[in-house]
Structure 1
Amino acid sequence: MEITFLACPVSSAPSASTCPLTPSTAPSVWTSTGPAACAISSGWRSASQARSCSSPTLSMNWSPHRTKVLKKVTRECGPALSQEQLGANICLDVSSDCYFLFEDDKFIVKAFRLFHRVPSFGFCVQERHRPGRLKTELLKELGVKPGPVYGRLKAGQPVTLESGRLLLPSEVLEESIPGRKVCILGDCSSALGEAPVRVCQGADLLVHEATLGDEHRDKAVEHGHSTPQMAAELARACRAKKLALYHFSQRYKPSSLQRHEDDTDDVTELQRQAEQVLLDDGVDVILAEDFLTISIPLHRPK
C-alpha cells in the first residue's frame, strides 16, 4: 500500500457553490455531482479541479457493480470522461456518523465530516485482515496433500477429509495478519463529532493539514485551517503510527530557499512543532512534498 502526494494548483479550487454538501446542513446523503465528490468516486476529472497543493492521492478502481453502498446513480455531472464511473447517492450511516463509500474483499473506504468554511471530508482506507500462513506440517500429519485443498483452507473454507472429518481453517491457519489503515483529512480546523477519532484509531498513517505555525493558531482557525499542534493532538488521540503534514502556507519554504540565515519561516519548523507534541508517543512526523510516496509495509503477526 502506497500514498503519493501530487502537485495541484490552488487557483482553480471549486467554490462552495459547486460542492454538494455543507457542514451546516448535517447531510444524510452524499451526492457525487460536484468536483469534491468526483474525487472520491472516480478520481479528479482534471488536475485543475484539485483543492490544494501536495494533495494526497489514492488510486482505487471504484466500480458501481462491486460496491455494496451504491444507491441511486446520477448523471447530473454531465457526460462522464473515459476514466470515470457514474456517480452515486450515498447515505450517511447514522450509527457510525460515516459514509460507507466502498467495500470489497480487500478494502473498506469510509468518509467522515470535518469542520471547514466549505464542505470538507476525511477518508479512511482500511485493509481487511489477511489470512495467516498454513500450518503445513500439521496438514501433512493429517494426510492433506498440497493442492486445491490448501487454497480452500487459505480462503477460509472448511474441507471434508477422506476420513470424513470436517477440517476447519482455524485449525490449520496461523494468526491472521492485521490490515493496514491510512486516513487522509481534507482542509479543516477540527474534526466534526467523534467519528474521525473512532474511525482513524490505530492508523498506520494519518495525513493532516498544517497551514500555519502554532503561533498563528487564531488566524488558522479563523480561515478553517489547522496548525502542527492541532494535527499532532489528533494523531495522538487516534494513536496513529505516522503523521504526514501537508497544505502549508506559501510563507513556509524549505531550507534550500531561505534567503537569510535568520529567516524563521522554514517549513521544518512546522515539523518541529508537531514533533514536540508527540515527543513521548513515538509517532514519526513527515513533511509532505510534491511527488513524495510513503509506503505502508505489511504488518507482521503478533
Structure 2
Amino acid sequence: MQITFLGTSSGVPTRARNVSSVALRLPQRSELWLFDCGEATQHQFLRSDLKVSQLRRIFITHMHGDHVFGLPGLLASLGLSGVCNGIDLYGPDPLKDFVESALRTSSTRLGYPLRFHRVSRALERDGTVLASDGFLVRCAPLRHRIPAFAYRVDEEPRPGRFDVSKAAALGIAPGPVYARLKAGETVTLDDGRQVDGRQLTGPDRQGLSITYCTDTVYCEEAVELARGTDLLIHESTFSHAEADLAFQRLHSTSTMAAQVALQAGVGQLVLTHLSPRYTPGNAKRPEDLLSEARAIFPETVLARDFLTLEAGRQPAAAMV
C-alpha cells in the first residue's frame, strides 16, 4: 500500500502546504482511495504522479471545509473526463446532502453513479465500513467540535512465498501452474501426480495496515483503532507548548500524536495537518514539532505535500 500526501496544512493552505488530503494507492489493483478532499485537491493530483482516473473510493473524516471543499470540483472534473465508472463515498451523515446540493445548484451532471455510505451506521454495528476484495476498512469516533471519524485499512494476509526450488525438484516446469500452486491450490500435473500448493509455500504473511486520524484531541478511541498498525497518520495541529489551545479547539499537539502512536504500538507515525503558524520565519517550525514527537516516539516522520511512503517501510529520505 502506497500513501501520497496531497495536502498537509490545517484550516487554510500555505505556499508550501495545501489543505487535507491523502491518497492510498493499491498497485496490485490499479486503484486509488482518497482520504479527505480539501480545496484544490484536484490540482494536487495534477502535480503528482497519481492517476485520478484510478480513483474508486473517497473517505471523509468530517465536514469542515478544509476537508471537503475540494470534493464537488473533483467529482465534476471526473464527470467531464468520461473515464469514471462510479465513486463510493464514505463519511458523516451530511456528506450526501453537501455533495448533491453543490452539484445541483451548479447545474453539474455526472455521467457516473455516486454511492454514499454513512459511517454512523457502521458504528452502530462493529465499526466495519468496508470488507471486500482483500481489504477491511474500520472506523472509530474522534473528539472534535463536530462528528469526526478515523479510518483504518487492513490488508488481508497474503500467501506465503513460493519455493521455486522445491517446485523444480518435483519436476514442475515454470508456467501458469506456478500461480495456482502459489495460491495454495491442489494441481493435477500432466503425468497424473497431484501436488498440494500449500506444501510449496511458506506461512501466510501478515497484511499491511494504515490508520488515518484527523481532526481530534487525544482520545482512547484513536489508540484502540490504531493498535498494532504499520503506519499511523495523525494530525499535529499544534506544538506541545500550545496544549491549552489544542484542548480548546479539540485538536492534537505533536506530543499527543506521539502518545497515541506509543500506546497503540504502531510501526511508524506521520505528522500532518500542521497549523500555518509553523512556517519559516516564525518562532517555531515544523521541524520543532517533529523533534517534540520523536522525543516520545522516535519512528516519526513529518509529512509534506507530495511525500510518498510505503506502509511497512521507512525510507531514509522520509525521515529527514
Shorter-normalised TM range: 0.5 to 0.7
Kindly indicate which of the two structures has a greater share of residues assigned to helix.
Answer: 2
Partner-residue secondary structure (3-state), 1:86: strand
Deviation at 1:270, TM superposition (A): 1.0
Structure 1 equivalent of residue 274 of structure 2: 248
Structure 2 equivalent of residue 292 of structure 1: 307
**Does structure 2 retain, via aligned residues, the 8 Å contact 1:241–1:284?**
yes
Deviation at 1:82, TM superposition (A): 4.8
Give the Cα separation in 2 of the matches to 1:272 and 1:243. Answer: 13
Give the Cα separation in 2 of the matches to 1:117 and 1:43. Answer: 19
Q: Deviations over 1:192-232 (max 9, x none)?
A: 54xx4343222222111111111221220111101111110
Out of 263, 279, 295, the position equivalent to 1:276 is 295
Distance 1:63 1:81, change over 3 A: closer
Give the Cα separation in 1 of the matches to 2:110 and 2:258. Answer: 39
Partner-residue secondary structure (3-state), 1:272: helix
Structure 1 equivalent of residue 5 of structure 2: 5
Distance 1:75 1:276, change over 3 A: closer
Any gaps of 5 or more consecutive residues in structure 1?
Answer: 13-34, 54-60
Partner-residue secondary structure (3-state), 1:277: coil
The code of the aligned residue for 2:241 comes to E
Distance 1:93 1:222, change over 3 A: closer
User: Residue 92 in 1 paired to residue 131 in 2?
Assistant: no
Out of 219, 230, 236, the position equivalent to 1:210 is 236
Give the Cα separation in 1 of the matches to 2:205 and 2:247. Answer: 40
The code of the aligned residue for 1:123 comes to Y
Give the Cα separation in 1 of the matches to 2:313 and 2:85. Answer: 23
Aligned residues: 245
Out of 246, 253, 273, the position equivalent to 1:227 is 253
Give the Cα separation in 2 of the matches to 1:143 and 1:103. Answer: 37
Give the Cα separation in 2 of the matches to 1:264 and 1:183. Answer: 31
Deviation at 1:10, TM superposition (A): 3.5
Distance 1:81 1:242, change over 3 A: farther
Give the Cα separation in 2 of the matches to 1:141 and 1:232. Answer: 50
Q: Deviations over 1:70-103 (max 9, x none)?
A: xxxx97553664576321345325564x232352
Structure 1 equivalent of residue 140 of structure 2: 112
Partner-residue secondary structure (3-state), 1:51: helix
User: Residue 51 in 1 paired to residue 80 in 2?
Assistant: no
**Does structure 2 retain, via aligned residues, the 8 Å contact 1:181–1:204?**
yes
Deviation at 1:128, TM superposition (A): 2.4
Partner-residue secondary structure (3-state), 2:146: coil
**Does structure 2 retain, via aligned residues, the 8 Å contact 1:129–1:178?**
yes
Larger mean CA deviation between 235-244 and 163-172 belongs to 163-172
Partner-residue secondary structure (3-state), 2:199: helix
Distance 1:157 1:238, change over 3 A: same
**Does structure 1 retain, via aligned residues, the 8 Å contact 2:10–2:237?**
no
Structure 1 equivalent of residue 265 of structure 2: 239
**Does structure 2 retain, via aligned residues, the 8 Å contact 1:183–1:200?**
yes
**Does structure 2 retain, via aligned residues, the 8 Å contact 1:42–1:85?**
no
Normalised to the residue count of structure 1, the TM-score between the two structures is 0.66
* Correspondence list, 1:118-137, <5 A: 118-137=146-165
Deviation at 1:127, TM superposition (A): 2.1
**Does structure 2 retain, via aligned residues, the 8 Å contact 1:124–1:200?**
yes
Structure 2 equivalent of residue 181 of structure 1: 209
